[in-house]
Amino acid sequence: MEINWYPGHMARAKRMLAEQLSRVDVVIELCDARLPLSSRNPDLMKLTERKERVLLLGKSDLADSAVTAKWLKVFRAQGIACMALDMNKQAKAALSLIDGAAKEAVERARQRGIKKTVRALVAGVPNVGKSTLINRLHGGNIAKVGDMPGVTKSNQWVKITPYLELMDTPGLLWPRLDDPLAARRLAYISAIRDEVLDTAHLSVQLLTDLIAVAPNAVQERFKIKDLSLRGPELLDAVCQGRGFLMKGGAFDTDRACKVVLDEFRGGKLGRITLEAPQDGRASEETYDEQA
């Protein structure tokens, strides 16, 4: 499945983000703990490479904690200051990481007799929880949040403490999502709008990928008896298992598609990470592209 989606507003958002960089002390990159590889935007990493950076693995409540621990180890070995967070419960823990990254700038200002206000921007692919992080740190609903990509439309500075300001930014993808594996994984976590996707194909791919990493959870949740099935037959099996039948007894595959995507996204299958540290970006094809 080709996903070629880089709407004009994203090119504009990237330009606006680049314009703010000179005013910023720290870049907070937020990715999704279920996809610590594919939900990191290489374009964004390049753009911010000269800044102090921290990496947050958000939605850690939806990811497998043992795999998350492995990822943190890998990132730390690369010298990346990072942390995994359930944003609804632990967002404030990010403050220590931000303080650490801003330490030198704060110290330089102190030597000039100035108490510095640290400015950090929060960036990442769509729907990873950037605005949620800002709301939790601010303590109110100052930034608009929603479970779909593209909720934040423009940059917004928010004062967190007298000496810390964070900038919320629109989610950014990169112009050529030329790695189909990364692209479809981004679609699984709603970083790409469902409207531009073939959701029937996507849900079959998701089922196939889930069978590879969490077969028991798939079997239990979707009542698929034969996990060796591939392609559209998987959706038929979900219809059969879950009783999704239309009048006359035909399978309601549209419903099965929606349920598969919604239930994975909502964590109904349990805590699942789709990428382990040893996985290459495009090296791990677990499904038939023609399915």
Binding interface with ligand GTP (CB under 6 A): 58-59, 61-62, 86-88, 126-132, 145-147, 149-152, 170-171
88 binds, among Mg ion, ligand GTP, none (CB under 5 to 8 A by kind): ligand GTP
Distances (CA, A) of 163 to 50, 52, 201: 23, 17, 48
> How many chain residues touch Mg ion (CB under 5 A)?
4
58 binds, among Mg ion, ligand GTP, none (CB under 5 to 8 A by kind): ligand GTP
* Eight-state DSSP code of residue 114: -
Measured from the CB atom, the residue of 131 and 205 that comes closer to Mg ion is 131
Distance CA 273, CA 148 (A): 20
Beta bridge partners of 121: 27, 167
Minimum separation from the CB atom of position 13 to ligand GTP (A) = 9
Distance CA 280, CA 65 (A): 20
Q: Number of helices and strands (H, E) in the chain? A: 11, 6
Task: Spell out, one character per residue from 149 to 188, where the chain touches Mg ion: x when CB under 5 A holds, - when not.
Answer: --xx------------------------------------
Question: Does 132 engage in binding with Mg ion (CB under 5 A)?
Answer: no
277 binds, among Mg ion, ligand GTP, none (CB under 5 to 8 A by kind): none
Measured from the CB atom, the residue of 19 and 147 that comes closer to ligand GTP is 147
150 binds, among Mg ion, ligand GTP, none (CB under 5 to 8 A by kind): ligand GTP
Minimum separation from the CB atom of position 166 to Mg ion (A) = 12
2 touches 203 (CB < 8 A): no
- Tokens at residue 218, please? 């798939």
Minimum separation from the CB atom of position 144 to ligand GTP (A) = 7
Residue of 102, 64, 96 lying closest to 83 (CA atoms): 96
Minimum separation from the CB atom of position 172 to ligand GTP (A) = 8
- Tokens at residue 94, please? 């990010």
In which region does residue 129 sit, left (phi positive, over 0), alpha (psi from -120 to 50) or beta (all else)?
left
Residue ranges of alpha helices (H) inside the chain are: 8-20, 42-47, 65-77, 87-90, 94-111, 130-138, 180-188, 199-213, 215-222, 233-242, 253-265
Measured from the CB atom, the residue of 151 and 200 that comes closer to Mg ion is 151
Minimum separation from the CB atom of position 143 to Mg ion (A) = 6
Question: Does 131 engage in binding with Mg ion (CB under 5 A)?
Answer: yes
* CB-based closest residue to ligand GTP: 171
Minimum separation from the CB atom of position 65 to ligand GTP (A) = 13
In which region does residue 45 sit, left (phi positive, over 0), alpha (psi from -120 to 50) or beta (all else)?
alpha
Minimum separation from the CB atom of position 156 to Mg ion (A) = 9
Angle between helices 180-188 and 253-265 (to 10 degrees): 90
Q: Using CB under 5 A, which of the segments 4-12, 38-46, 70-78, 127-135 binds Mg ion?
A: 127-135
Tell me which residues touch Mg ion (CB under 5 A).
Answer: 130-131, 151-152
